[in-house]
Amino acid sequence: MSVIPELTHNALGEEHAVSLPHYFDALRLACEKYPPPFGMRFYGDEYRRIAVDPDWFAFSLMTNSAREGDGASRLWDLAASTQDRFAASQITQHAIDESRHSRLYLTMLGVVFPGAVDETFISEVQGLSPKLTRMSPLIANMTSPFAHPITIDDLIQMNIAEIRTLVHHMLQRPVIMAFCDNDRKAHLVKLLDSLLFDEIKHITYTAELIEKSAASDKGTKSLVNQLMADRLRDFNELTEQELGDRVFETT
């Protein structure tokens, strides 16, 4: 049995997790059918094997920054296209959080590896972040494939992706702390805690929206179960592709 449902349950906390029975049913069934590589020992071992290289680790902080900025733009287009005001408000906040995370990864890069990147290049990378705030005009880029009202499929994809991002955070934390000079660790912990808080918040709100949908009727619950499994399978494939030629034995 994959550790991912238990890890997610623990991250959300018992009090919160008990209010999400349909969501956790779907997640458990999906993980049973398609065990995610990011819940396996090999995944963590592989991360640590390469993350102890400071050059790769610094590179990873920068690519994370770029990916968070891209995710923020996708979420902004979804939020701007979603009529349901409650859902749209939560997705908007999610996009703002990711926009901030994009800059936060670069801040961590500067804290842990001062002088590793020249200011011109840092400025260029910062330009990849949409720098979203509540004051930003909530308008979708109509050429974006994400300029559509959010669907249960989108929410399930976001939820699965956020769980893997939480796993990455948990892998990253001991390594970045070890790389950091002692006199900067207190600052770094604040940055990491802020990231962790937001990742759990994002898993929680998407799980709540999935739960609400699954609880509405039996047909939708069945659809949620099916989509959770299908999208976990897709994300597992994507995870394996990202790791290049590494072979995962999932049985």
Three-state DSSP at 1 gives coil
C-alpha to C-alpha distance for 58 and 117, rounded to whole angstroms: 9
C-alpha dist (Å) from residue 222 to 44, 190, 226, 233:
32, 41, 6, 17
Q: Considering only residues 28-67, where is the footprint of other proteins by CB under 8 A? A: 35, 37-48, 50-56, 58-60, 62-64, 66-67
Among 24, 34, 205, 235, binds other proteins (CB under 8 A): 235
**Selected binder of other proteins within 81, 90, 231, 236 (CB under 8 A):** 231
* Residue 20 or 102 having the CB closest to other proteins: 102
**Beta carbon nearer to other proteins, 64 or 90:** 64
Residues 12-31 close enough to bind other proteins by CB under 8 A: none
Q: Is 249 helix (H, G, I), strand (E, B) or coil?
A: coil
Nearer to other proteins, 19 or 222 (CB): 222
Q: Among 130, 165, 164, which residue's Cα sits nearest to residue 146?
A: 130
Q: Does 173 bind other proteins (CB under 8 A)?
A: yes
Distance from the first to the final alpha carbon of the chain: 11
Looking at 85, 145, 218, 219, which residue binds other proteins (CB under 8 A)? 145
Number of CB atoms found within 10 A of residue 168's CB: 16
Residues 71-130 that bind other proteins (CB under 8 A): 71-72, 74-75, 78, 94, 98, 101, 113, 116-118, 121, 124-125, 127-128
